[in-house]
Amino acid sequence: MIGNLQRGGQMGSSEPGTIRVEIFGPEMPDGVPSARAASFSRAIARGFYEPESDDAEQKTLTELDVADQTVYIAAYDQDAVAPSLHADVPVGTYLAFPGTINVGGPALLPVNQISAVTVTPAYRRRGILRAMITADLQRAVDARIPLAALTASEATIYGRFGFGRVTERVRFELDVSTGARMRAPSTGTVIELAPSALEGQVCQLLAAQHRNTHGSLSNASFDYGQATGRWQNYQDLKPARDLRAALHLDGQGQPDGFMTYRFAGWDQEPAQMKIAMLCASTPAVRRDLVEYLGDHDLIKKVTGYGPVGDVLPSALVDSRSYKVLSLWDHLWLRILDLPAALAGRGYLNDGSIRLKVVDRLGHAAGTWLVEVSQGQGNASRLPEASDFDAQLDVRDLATLYLGTRSASHLAGAGVLEAGDPAILDTLDRIFSTRTTPYCYTDF
Ligand SMILES: CC(C)(COP(=O)(O)OP(=O)(O)OC[C@H]1O[C@@H](n2cnc3c(N)ncnc32)[C@H](O)[C@@H]1OP(=O)(O)O)[C@@H](O)C(=O)NCCC(=O)NCCS
Q: Which of 298, 328, 358 is the last residue of a domain?
A: 328
In a domain, 155, yes or no: no
Q: What distance separates the 2 farthest-apart alpha carbons in the chain? A: 69
In a domain, 191, yes or no: yes
Dihedral (CA of 299, 318, 210, 168) sign: negative
Residue with CA nearest ligand 1 atom 40: 118
pLDDT, residue 234, reads 86
**Where residue 300 sits, what CATH number does that domain have?**
3.40.630.30
Which residues are CB-contacts of 325 (< 8 A; sequence separation ≥ 6)? 170, 171, 172, 173, 303
| Domain carrying residue 104 | 3-145
Q: Are residues 188 and 114 in the same domain?
A: no
Q: How many domains does the chain have?
A: 3
In a domain, 208, yes or no: yes
Q: Are residues 11 and 57 in the same domain?
A: yes
Q: Are residues 36 and 139 in the same domain?
A: yes
pLDDT, residue 11, reads 33
In a domain, 436, yes or no: no
Q: Are residues 11 and 129 in the same domain?
A: yes
In a domain, 153, yes or no: no
Residue with CA nearest ligand 1 atom 26: 157
Report CA(16)–ligand 1 centroid distance (Å): 16
Q: Are residues 348 and 282 in the same domain?
A: no
Q: Are residues 278 and 307 in the same domain?
A: yes
Contact 166, 333 (CB under 8 A): yes
Ligand 1 atom nearest residue 120's Cα: 39
Q: Are residues 341 and 204 in the same domain?
A: no
* Positions in the chain whose pLDDT score sits under 50: 6-14
Q: Are residues 287 and 254 in the same domain?
A: yes
In a domain, 150, yes or no: no
Q: Are residues 377 and 356 in the same domain?
A: yes
Among 89, 150, 157, 234, which residue has the most ligand 1 atoms within 8 Å of its CB, making it the best to mutate? 157
Ligand 1 atom nearest residue 125's Cα: 11
pLDDT, residue 236, reads 86
In a domain, 221, yes or no: yes
In a domain, 438, yes or no: no
Rounded CA-CA distance 184/181 in Å is 9
**Where residue 356 sits, what CATH number does that domain have?**
3.30.1050.10
Residue with CA nearest ligand 1 atom 19: 157
Q: Are residues 302 and 183 in the same domain?
A: yes
pLDDT, residue 419, reads 85
Which residues, judged by CB distance below 6 Å to any ligand atom, belong to the binding site of ligand 1? 47, 117-119, 124-130, 152-154, 156-157, 160
Contact 74, 184 (CB under 8 A): no
pLDDT, residue 15, reads 58
Q: Are residues 212 and 259 in the same domain?
A: yes
> How would you list the strands of the sheet with 416-418, edge to edge?
376-381, 366-373, 351-358, 390-393, 416-418
Rounded CA-CA distance 186/248 in Å is 11
Strand 92-101 relative to strand 109-119, pairing: antiparallel
pLDDT digits (tens, 9 = 90+) for 101-140: 999 999 999 999 999 999 999 999 999 999 999 999 999 9
Q: Which of 112, 145, 178 is the last residue of a domain?
A: 145
Ligand 1 atom nearest residue 115's Cα: 48
Q: Which of 270, 298, 328 is the last residue of a domain?
A: 328
Q: 116 vs 53, 95, 150, 278, 305, CA distance in Å?
A: 14, 6, 10, 24, 23
pLDDT, residue 12, reads 33
Report CA(77)–ligand 1 centroid distance (Å): 18
Q: Are residues 324 and 379 in the same domain?
A: no
